[in-house]
Structure 1
Amino acid sequence: MTSPAPTRPRRTPLRSMLLGGLVPSAPLVVLVPLLTWAAAGPWAAVSALLGAVLSVVVFVLGVVGIKGVLTGPTASTMAGAFGVFVLQLAALAAVIWSLGQTTWLEVVPLAIAFILVGMVFQAGLVVGYLRIRTPLDVTLPGETR
């Protein structure tokens, strides 16, 4: 007797979007600090690493927050998405402010890494979302093909 084949996990939009965002941005979390180290030294590289990691964390938490918004009532979707965005900005501002109180942080490498990794992550989210979409073929009543 053979056992049934293991089932693959169902692909969901959230999973596809997270993979679409994480796969291209993960190498940048390593590559950007290494390039920064070569160009500007070790403390700039640490700042770039912090910016890259901060970017990935903020955007992953945003996608997870949007998942929670979408499971709620449809009427509050836009307000919930705006709330997630405001929370992301507030958390990011608090983290950047607290990091700005240190003497070792270099702001320019942190900002460049944050923006670069964030843009790649966002582009990956869009690609992940577009991959999961399925075409809908509907024939309406009274319509002929």
Structure 2
Amino acid sequence: MSAAAPPRPARTPLRSMLVGGLVPTLPLVVVVPLLTWAAAGEWAAVSALLGAVLSIVVFVLGVVGIRGVLAGPTASTMAGAFSVFVLQMVVLAAVIWSLAQTTWLEVVPLAIAFLIAGLVFQAGLVVGFLRARAELDVDLPGDPR
């Protein structure tokens, strides 16, 4: 007699979206700085690494923030989502401004790595969301089968 398999954790849209965003983005944290190092030197690579990591942190916190917004009252969903977006941009601007005050940071590699990682993360979120959707099969009155 075989033992029953342990139950699989429920596949929530948030979990699926985060996995969909992180899986393709995490290799970029290694690849983009290495390519930048080969093209522009070590400080550009450090800046690119910082940009990629910053992108991942900002977007993961944004997804978690949206989860909190969606758990709240429905009437404030759009305002809450916009507030999360504005907060992300303000924090990001403050971090980039403070980093730009240093002498070692190269802004162009940081920005390029941030954009690449951000776009890949966003595409992964969409793929993760689409995979998390459940198909409904219902019979509606008046629909011929």
TM-score > 0.5, shorter chain as reference: yes
Count of residue correspondences: 145
Which sections of structure 1, spanning at least 5 residues, go unmatched? none
Q: Give the aligned partner of residue 42 of structure 1.
A: 42
Q: In structure 1, how many angstroms separate the alpha carbons of the residues matched to 2:28 and 2:50? A: 12
Q: Give the aligned partner of residue 60 of structure 1.
A: 60
Q: Give the aligned partner of residue 10 of structure 1.
A: 10
Using the aligned pairs only, state the percent identity: 80
Q: Give the aligned partner of residue 87 of structure 1.
A: 87
Q: Tell whether 2:102 aligns with 1:105.
A: no
Q: CA RMSD in A?
A: 1.3
Structure 1 stretch 47-56 or stretch 131-140: which is displaced more?
Answer: 131-140
Q: In structure 1, how many angstroms separate the alpha carbons of the residues matched to 2:76 and 2:48? A: 37
* Matched position secondary structure for 2:50: helix
TM-score, scaled to structure 2: 0.95
Q: Give the aligned partner of residue 70 of structure 2.
A: 70
Q: In structure 1, how many angstroms separate the alpha carbons of the residues matched to 2:2 and 2:133? A: 35
- For 1:18-41, what per-residue CA distance to the aligned partner results, in whole angstroms no more than 9, with x for missing partners? 000000000001000000000000
Q: In structure 2, how many angstroms separate the alpha carbons of the residues matched to 1:110 and 1:28? A: 13
* Matched position secondary structure for 1:105: coil
Structure 1 stretch 131-140 or stretch 62-71: which is displaced more?
Answer: 131-140
Given residue 33 of structure 1, which amino acid in structure 2 is its aligned partner? P
Q: In structure 1, how many angstroms separate the alpha carbons of the residues matched to 2:93 and 2:136? A: 42
TM-score, scaled to structure 1: 0.95
Shift of 1:134: 1.5
* Matched position secondary structure for 2:105: coil
Q: Tell whether 2:119 aligns with 1:119.
A: yes
Q: In structure 2, how many angstroms separate the alpha carbons of the residues matched to 1:7 and 1:136? A: 23
Q: Give the aligned partner of residue 138 of structure 2.
A: 138
Please identify runs of 4+ aligned residues in structure 1 that moved more than 6 A.
none
Q: In structure 2, how many angstroms separate the alpha carbons of the residues matched to 1:20 and 1:142? A: 39
